[in-house]
């Protein structure tokens, strides 16, 4: 019994795992439709390039998932994006289907609130510049350490898109992001 107590004390006091948890965030932006028969699929798409909805000035520590952990920002040791999924839907509901066929590529970037230290966070590209398809996209996440961004006052999450405007329907794009956070006690 004494050995068990010593073992439990040693593993919890000396070798306790760092607290880690997931934080979920989401944002939505609307792309207006535009008939553009001469638009090239690989051209820059200004309507989806720039701040992504509410993530333009984003403080991860203010999300409910983060607040529920009771961890101060200065205790963060690592933050990584673990998943980013986009969903397309028609804005008015009557126009369908809405999908990602108007895109040939999309990148998400993170930067400090002043725009410095810009890094690519996640991306997706159509094969050989072809259009993307489907109503839901899972982006490939880049291995970027986000702790310095999260510890700052706010960070910017922006997009760079190639494609053309949706031709038939205004399209709502909802982004769902999952961040994995590690902290020290």
Q: Do residues 65 and 156 lie in contact, with contact meaning Cβ atoms separated by under 8 Å?
A: no
Q: What is the pLDDT of residues 127-162, one digit of tens each?
A: 766 778 888 999 999 999 999 999 998 898 988 888
What phi, psi does 168 have (nearest 5°)?
-110, -30
Strand order in the sheet with 171-183: 20-31, 171-183, 76-90, 136-138
- Mean of the per-residue pLDDT values of the chain: 82
Q: Do residues 124 and 137 lie in contact, with contact meaning Cβ atoms separated by under 8 Å?
A: yes
Identify the pLDDT of residue 114: 87
| pLDDT: which is higher, 45 or 78 | 78
The answer, yes or no, to whether residue 7 has pLDDT greater than 50, is: no
The answer, yes or no, to whether residue 167 has pLDDT greater than 60, is: yes
Report which of 164, 177, 134 is spatially closest to residue 35, judged by C-alpha positions: 164
- CA 70 to CA 13: how far, in whole Å? 20
| pLDDT: which is higher, 54 or 150 | 150
Q: What is the pLDDT of residues 55-68, one digit of tens each?
A: 778 888 899 999 99
List all residues 6 or more positions away from 86 whose beta carbon is below 8 Å from its beta carbon.
Answer: 100, 106, 136, 137, 139, 173, 174, 175, 176
The answer, yes or no, to whether residue 29 has pLDDT greater than 70, is: yes
Query: Beta partners for 155?
Result: 58, 112
Q: What is this structure's pTM?
A: 0.82
What phi, psi does 7 have (nearest 5°)?
-60, -45
What phi, psi does 178 have (nearest 5°)?
-125, 125
Q: Which domains does the chain have, with CATH numbers?
A: 18-183 (2.60.120)
Q: Read off the pLDDT band of 108 (50, 70, 90).
A: very high
């Amino acid at each position: 019994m004494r050995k068990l107590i010593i073992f439990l004390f040693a593993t919890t006091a000396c070798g306790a795992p760092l607290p880690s948890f997931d934080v979920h965030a989401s944002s939505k932006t609307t792309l207006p439709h535009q008939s553009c028969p001469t638009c090239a699929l690989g051209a820059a798409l200004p309507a989806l390039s720039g701040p992504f909805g509410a993530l333009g000035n984003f403080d991860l520590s203010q999300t409910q998932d983060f607040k529920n952990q009771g961890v101060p920002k200065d205790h963060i040791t690592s933050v990584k994006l673990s998943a980013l999924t986009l969903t397309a839907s028609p804005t008015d509901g009557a126009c369908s289907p809405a999908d990602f066929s108007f895109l040939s590529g999309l990148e998400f970037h993170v930067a400090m609130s002043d725009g410095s230290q810009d890094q690519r966070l996640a991306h997706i590209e159509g094969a050989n510049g072809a259009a993307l398809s489907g109503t839901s996209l899972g982006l490939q996440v880049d291995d970027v350490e986000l702790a310095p961004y999260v510890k700052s006052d706010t960070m910017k999450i922006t997009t760079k898109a190639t494609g053309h405007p949706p031709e038939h329907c205004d399209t709502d794009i909802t982004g769902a992001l999952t961040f994995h956070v590690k902290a020290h006690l």
